[in-house]
Each structure stands twice: as C-alpha cells, then as structure tokens.
Amino acid sequence: MTGDGLRGRVALVTGASSGLGRATAAALAEAGAQVIVHGRDAARLAEVAGAVGGVAVPGDLAVPAEVERVAAAALDVAARIDVLVCNAGAGWAGPFEAMPAADGDRLVAVNLAAPIGLTRLLLPQMRRRGGGRLVYVTSIAGRLGVAGEAVYAATKAGLDAFAESLRQELRGSGVTVGVLVPGVVDTPFFVRRGAPYTRGRPRPLPPDRVAGALVRGIAAGSPEIYVPGWLRLPVAVRGLAPAVYRTLAGRFGERVTPADPR
C-alpha cells in the first residue's frame, strides 16, 4: 500500500461520528480513499458521511451481534475493505473499586473485543487479495498505565499486544498492522469518561493533527505512530528503568475524581 498510496482504497473507520474518528475519515477521504464510517449516533454519522462523501454504517460495538452486522454491512458497500481503522473506544475514570461492573464490561467489549471481532471478520478477504492494512488506535495509557483508568489502560494494552502478535503472524502476507499511540487529544472523550482533563501539560492536541499523522502512517505502512513523538521517551524510561519511572509517575501522574455513576 505504500507504493500507490490510499487513492481508490476502501477504508472502514469505527467511532467516526466525532473527534479523532471523524477527523481520520476526513483525512482519508482527502487522500482519495472511499470511506465507510461507523458510529453509534446515526444522525451525526450521516452528517459525517455526507461531509466525506462516504457511507454510514451505524451500530453499537459493545454488542457482539452488532460487530458482525457492521462488518457485513461494510463489505456490502464495495465487496472489500482495504483499510480497517479501529478507533471506537470507551472510557471511565475513577478508582477501580468504584467502577460499576457494567461499565467495565463495556470497556472490554468496545476497546478490545470489538477490534478483535472486526479483524476476524475482515482479515480473510484481505489475505485472499494479498494485501490490506489493519490499524488500531491504542493509547499511551496502554503503554504506561494510568491511575484511575485501570480497566481502560488494560484494554489498550491488550489491543497493543494483539496488534503486535498479529503483525508477526501476518509477516509476508501483504497485510500489514499498525498502531496509533496518542497522548491527549482534544475530543469529547474526557467528558464521556466521567472526568475532564485538567492538567496543563501535556496539552491536548487538535484531532486534525493526530488524524493527519495517522493517515500519513497508514500510507507509509508505519508499524507505530506516536503523537506527539516525544511520548516514546516515557515508554523507553519505563522499559529501561521501571523503578525510576514509577517514582516519577507517582509524583507527576494524573489524578482523577470519578463522576457520579448515576
């Protein structure tokens, strides 16, 4: 895919009704891809589809049957998916013991089980054609861990491990695997997780900037895309000097207060 870029490719972007997913859909369309957008909010999704000249496929990825329906509906559009961008995600902030079980189940379903399910359903047609691109939006939380977001971080770490394992498994098949590891992106995610982002640094990045880096990485076949790039540093410190990292994280790590779960 790196040779001829994204023009004419068919891309499915999950979680595209707002934020990073919406910006990614727009960037892919600008690069010449035919975009299929997924989201839970059918009205907003239809607006996005109209803006990017794409097709809307609404659905709730927390429901296993909906994962299968979304994959089937996407394949019905053009009989193939060349690029799968698993961006849809759910969050929750607060002490782990205060987290309702249903919220934990939803995070695991949307953030981890759904990308695995979509991959299972869409990978075979990529392999038959000898090419494709699987892209997963993880999080720096999955690389480092974050106090108050234990389940969210665990799902993103699991997605990272899935992507790395799949990359090794698909070597030589023509199907490549990439991950986006973003820091703080200025989207409604923080409101939805139950606690706003209140730290001065790192400053939230505009979703358009992150989406641009993601699409450039897709076109280049990059296995990992960090945005901003300096996020590689704390990941390296954690790997090389975990005790030092834990000391720094304890001093400077984010603290969150849970929203009323009602």
Could you give the C-alpha distances from 176 to 13, 46, 149, 168, in angstroms and in order? 16, 30, 30, 9
**Structure tokens belonging to residue 108:** 């695991």
How many Å apart are CA 182 and CA 85, to the nearest integer? Answer: 14
Q: Are 42 and 94 in contact (CB under 8 A)?
A: no
Q: Reply yes or no on whether 197 is catalytic.
A: no
Q: Could you count the other beta carbons within 10 Å of the beta carbon of residue 169?
A: 10
* H or E element that contains 6: none
* Amino acid symbol at 136: Y
How many Å apart are CA 15 and CA 21, to the nearest integer? Answer: 5
DSSP state of 205: B
* H or E element that contains 235: helix 232-240
User: Is the bond into 202 cis (omega within 30 degrees of 0)?
Assistant: yes
Angle at which helices 114-129 and 64-78 cross, to 10°: 30
Residue among 136, 152, 226, 245 flagged as catalytic: 152
Q: Catalogue the active-site residues.
A: 152
